[in-house]
Amino acid sequence: MNDRKRMRKVREKRIDAIDKQIEFHENKIKIERPSKDTTPQYWIKEIEKKFKKIKEEDKKYLEEKDK
């Protein structure tokens, strides 16, 4: 039981941290001048691949445990 509560808290904190990382990266995309290999489209793709995937998995886990 304690493990479930702990995992829930960990996942909720991770979702908050991922939201902050996404916001930071999106601001960075707007501000920084892109180089040849790091265009804004590249960074948007990386955000989708890394952060949003993890966030969706965590939300799915929390929804399953609520049932």
Domain interval for residue 33: 2-66
Question: What does the pLDDT look like over 18-54, one tens digit per residue?
Answer: 999 989 888 888 887 777 777 788 888 888 888 888 9
pLDDT of the residue at 16:
94
Whether this prediction's pTM lies above 0.85 is answered by no
Handedness of CA 57, 50, 4, 20 (dihedral sign): negative
Q: 67 falls in which pLDDT band (50, 70, 90)?
A: low
Under a CB-based contact definition with an 8 Å cutoff, are residues 10 and 54 in contact?
A: no
pLDDT greater than 90 at residue 13: yes
In the chain, the number of structural domains is 1
